[in-house]
């Protein structure tokens, strides 16, 4: 289980700013991005909205549609 607190919220805000995105729609996607970035090794993130999550994570994180 991933810990999501103030530092992770700050990281999510930085991810959004770096991607040039804002708003609650993207803020929801930013939290799984934070969790994916915390993982080691090969990472695959599953989501129903691949387009938004792919904008927020680096290319080494594989994003798959559920």
pLDDT of 58 > 70? The answer is yes
Phi first, then psi: what are they for 43, rounded to 5°? -120, 135
Q: What are the structure tokens assigned to 9, written together?
A: 């919220």
Residues 22-55 have pLDDT tens digits of: 888 898 999 999 999 999 999 999 999 899 999 9
pTM for this predicted structure: 0.85
CB environment 41-64: b (16+ within 10 A), e (fewer): eebebebeeeebbbbbbeeebebe
């Amino acid at each position: 289980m991933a810990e999501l607190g103030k530092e992770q919220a700050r990281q999510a805000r930085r991810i959004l700013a770096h991607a040039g995105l804002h708003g609650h729609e993207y803020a929801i996607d930013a939290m799984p991005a934070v969790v994916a970035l915390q993982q080691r090794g090969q990472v695959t993130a599953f989501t129903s909205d691949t387009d938004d999550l792919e904008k927020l994570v680096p290319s080494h994180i594989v994003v798959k549609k559920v």
